[in-house]
A = this chain, B = another copy of it.
Amino acid sequence: MIASSRNSLNFKTIVSKIFYLCFIMARLIEFDEEQAIQKAMEVFWKKGYAATSMRDLTDAMQINSSSLYNTIGDKHRLFVRCIKHYIKMRIDAVEQRYISFASPIQALESFIKDAADIITTEPNSCLCVKATFEIEGDDPEIQAIITSYDNFTHRFLKDLVEKAQSQHQIGQNENADTVADYLVSTFIGWYNSFILHQDRNKILNMADFIIRQLRC
């Protein structure tokens, strides 16, 4: 079981934290937690959960394991933080890029091409996809977090599909939910294809193909 032995903050720790905040100032935490999470995320992203050791993590984060356990918690708590950090990065990027767009169909096309580009240029595949296949039902907490990210992407795409349909930019016969599901599924398949074949053109051709299909 991946999801075992998660000792989060206990009562004693919480009480001492409150005391710390209200009355007494002692030694301050030296390391930058955000930065450390970023480093840990990169390790998990490359190696996966089980294949990453605590030594790998503390080496990358440049902190001692006692500091890690004092602030963030055990390996699983850290993984949760890293997954959340990764998702926040991704959502922020999407929301920044798609604040406004000329038309829904153009936004859809951009999104598809962006996906193809990310998949064929980043050094690793998607941390969430890797985690999903690694845990596969054995870690409800991680799965719930990833599912909610999946839902975000789904809503985003479904919304664009509906708008494009109502503006007669794409066919109106298909169910927007299904089209959104199908787009998300395809992107995930692209990760797999690119790992196996390292063939950027394969992915770009599929992106063009999907865009053509959407238009009719």
Copies in the complex: 2
> A136 and B125 in contact (CB under 8 A), knowing A188-B188, A189-B188?
yes
Contact residues of A: prevailing secondary structure: helix
Q: B179, A209: Cβ atoms under 8 Å?
A: yes
Looking at the assembled complex, report how far the CB atom of A149 sits from the nearest CB atom of chain B, in whole angstroms.
Answer: 9
Determine the chain B residues whose CB is within 8 A of the CB of A212 once the complex forms: 174
- Contact check, B181 vs A206: say whether CB atoms are below 8 A apart: yes
Among listed A60-68, A77-85, A193-201, interface-contacting one: A193-201
A residues contacting B by CB (< 8 A) are 2, 48, 50-51, 124-125, 129-130, 132-134, 136-137, 143, 146-147, 150, 174-175, 177-179, 181-182, 184-193, 195-197, 202, 205-206, 209-210, 212-213, 216
